Amino acid sequence: MDKPWLSQYPAGVPAEIDIHQFASLKDMLEASCLRFADRPAYRSMGSVMSFRQLDEASRAFAAWLQKVAGLQRGDRVALMMPNLLQYPVALFGVLRAGMVVVNINPLYTPRELGHQLNDAGARAIVVLENFAHTLEEVIGATPVRTVVTTQVGDLLPPLQRLLTNAVVKHVKKLVPSWRLAGAVDFRQALAAGRSQAPDDVRLGHRDLAFLQYTGGTTGVAKGAMLSHGNMVANVLQVRAWMSPNLKDGEETLILPLPLYHVFALTGALSFFSKGAQAVLIPNPRDLPAFLQVLRQTRFTAIIGVNTLFRALLDAPGFAAVNLGSLKLAVAGGMAVQHVVAHRWRERAGVPLVEGYGLTESAPVAIANPVTIPEWSGQIGVPLPSTEAAILDDGGGPVAFGEVGEICLRGPQVMQGYWKLPEETAQVFTPDGWLRTGDMGVMDERGSIRITDRKKDMIVVSGFKVFPNEIEDVLTMHPGVLEAAAIGVRDERSGEAVKVVIVRNDPGLSEDAVLAHCKQHLTAYKMPRVVEFRSEPLPKTNIGKILRRELRDGAAGTVQGASSQPPMSAG
């Protein structure tokens, strides 16, 4: 197919990447540990772990899994912890042992945790003890037979470890009581593994690396099967894309997004492959602690989502953060709002570089060039070795500038959904395009702009309304802290626009909101219902607003609306 987007590639970014550089993600990680052995790989809570130390610790954990726990190649091992040094050690250890990582959100309820463990057929789990009580409730009804527990400070220097664990448990009381018979301490597992030599498992591109669960915000979570080939491809694609701005062995990444989320995971692996140091933020919602880390670190890159960048911009202490070394700020996971992009460029001196992907594409498929001078308002162009098309409901291409479903092909696209062949078949077209469920347009140069999730689109008297546009307009108002737009049933027009707002200014009124919208929106896009809330809007673990929850809670039907798109008065 024609690839008009290649003309927009910065100098030095190839049209294709060689996915055969590495047979597996395991081989890629081992190569980075060897090449950058004495450089810092991860920093957490002031403590640094070098590539060499990570190599040694992950080898020990792999040996323990194989030789002591008795797990076999291909067994699924769940990881349930936030951004701590234990996470990369466990992650790399599982992969080096030839096993499959199942990432789990530590804040899952027992029901969600039980479903994921059972669906994945997980034989083992590594869990931060703060969340062990949740596991205790469901473990008896799951296939998990090996439990490794860890404490927050386990890989910190001895004195700091003891102090940190004591404060977390006895002062802050963040560890509910739990009992898991036969659970093994993470440090004990590492100690036992250091006396063993792990078996060198040979892996190929088709071998499974991750069961990465997705779809939990729209229904029962499904496990996307991401192979070693998928992950190697996406890491190489992202690494090539970053090459105009970032140099091997010289960068420091701020990583506030949870590593159990695929956006942060692949981003971190891409920086790791370049020999960058990643600063792990265990709880970005603790803004004072987060800002303290930022003030103490001369960082060159940061990845986040729109809500995180807005939270930083709104935080009084952010003015004291030195951004003089910042080269790259990457935003993904949700749409970037114009007001956030504008404020970030003014404060940071570098634009937000927006990218796009989904769990099923490991995840990055489309991105703006890292050399852009300003936020573009688009999600960018397909990455090397990636094809994108805008297709209609019948699977045919639409003209440039017309709205259709964004569809993808490339080596990073998943193998399918775990144990769900029918759903896998539904998400792929007969000629191999992955249907993303996102609506967008492509221009003549191959740049893509996302309009919205297909399922979130609001249809008012036959006119399509995209919530992202409404929300972007609302958040331009200084009195709005956050906002979401959803469709509600309407007796005559089918659907009407409802907006849910958390105020920045307690005095903000419905009339002021509607007057602001009237300045920026055509009549049929105008909100018919305005709801103010005092609590933050419901969000996913990375900060994406859960419109489904808002829709589920929207009661009743708008009465007496016109059968035509709303007209402005006067």
Please, what is the angle between helix 25-35 and helix 262-273, to 10°?
40
Query: Among 200-214, 358-372, 391-405, 544-558, which stretch is predicted with the lowest mean pLDDT?
Result: 544-558
Residue 213 belongs to a domain: no
Residues 431 and 477 in one domain: no
Q: Is residue 1 part of a domain?
A: yes
C-alpha of 170 from chain center: 32
* Distance in angstroms (rounded) separating the CA atoms of residues 547 and 473: 17
Shared domain for 367 and 474, answered yes or no, is no
Whether the predicted pLDDT of 570 surpasses 60: no
- Residue 333, pLDDT score: 85
Q: What whole-number distance in Å separates Cα of residue 79 and Cα of residue 100?
A: 10
In a domain? residue 232: no
- Tally of domains within the chain: 3
Contact 378, 448 (CB under 8 A): yes
| 470-518 residue pLDDT tens | 999 999 999 999 999 999 998 877 899 999 999 999 999 999 999 999 9
The residue out of 406, 438, 455 marking a domain boundary is 455
Task: Read off the pLDDT band of 360 (50, 70, 90).
Answer: very high
For residue 566, pLDDT beyond 60: no
DSSP string, 307-349: HHHHHHHH-GGGGGS--TT--EEEE-SSPPPHHHHHHHHHHHS
Judge whether 569 lies within some domain. no
Whether 268 and 168 map to the same domain: the answer is no
Maximum alpha-carbon separation in the chain: 81
| Residues 46 and 88 both lie in one domain | yes
Q: Name the residue range of residue 481's domain.
A: 457-553
CA 409 – CA 361 distance, rounded (Å): 9
The per-residue pLDDT for 466 is 85
Q: How many CA atoms lie within 13 A of 193 on its CB side?
A: 28
- Which of 176, 203, 230 marks a domain boundary? 203
| Same domain? 524 vs 394 | no
Say yes or no: 188 and 258 in one domain. no
40 and 116 share a domain?
yes
The domain that contains 510 carries what CATH number?
3.30.300.30
Q: Which amino acid is at 323?
A: L
Asked if the model's pLDDT at residue 462 lies above 80, the reply is no
**What values do phi and psi take at 280, rounded to 5?**
-85, 130
Of 399, 400, 344, 406, the residue nearest 379 (C-alpha): 406
Dihedral pair phi/psi, residue 116, rounded to 5°: -70, -40
Say which CATH number the domain at 72 has: 3.40.50.980
DSSP assignment of 100-136, as one string?
EEEE--TT--HHHHHHHHHHHT--EEEEEGGGHHHHH
pLDDT one-digit tens code per residue, 132-181: 999 999 999 999 999 999 999 999 999 999 999 999 999 999 999 999 99
Average per-residue pLDDT in the chain? 93
pLDDT band at 555 (very low <50, low <70, confident <90, very high): low
334 in any annotated domain: yes
Do 30 and 74 lie in one domain? The reply is: yes
**Model confidence over 58-78: pLDDT tens digits?**
999 999 999 999 999 999 999
Report whether 128 contacts 106 (CB < 8 A).
yes
pLDDT value at 569 more than 50:
no
The domain that holds 366 is classified in CATH as: 3.40.50.12780
Same-domain check for residues 197 and 80: yes
- The verdict on 451 and 464 lying in the same domain is no
In this structure, are 321 and 347 located in the same domain?
A: yes
- State whether residue 548 is helix, strand or coil: helix
Single-letter amino acid, residue 525: K
Residues 352 and 424 both lie in one domain: yes
* pLDDT > 70: percent of the chain: 96
Using CA atoms, how far apart are residues 565 and 570, in angstroms rounded to an integer? Answer: 16
pLDDT band for position 558 (cuts 50, 70, 90)? low
Measured between alpha carbons, how far is residue 14 from residues 116, 244, 386, 442, 514 in Å?
A: 38, 11, 12, 21, 48
Residue 186 maps to a domain: yes
pLDDT of 187 strictly over 90: yes
What's the pLDDT tens digit per position in 208-265? Answer: 999 999 864 345 689 999 999 999 999 999 999 999 999 999 999 999 999 999 999 9
Of the candidates 142, 168, 203, which is a domain's last residue?
A: 203
- Is residue 373 situated within a structural domain? yes
Is 402 a domain residue?
yes
Helices (H) and strands (E) in the chain, counts: 16, 26
Question: What per-residue confidence (pLDDT) applies to 538?
Answer: 94
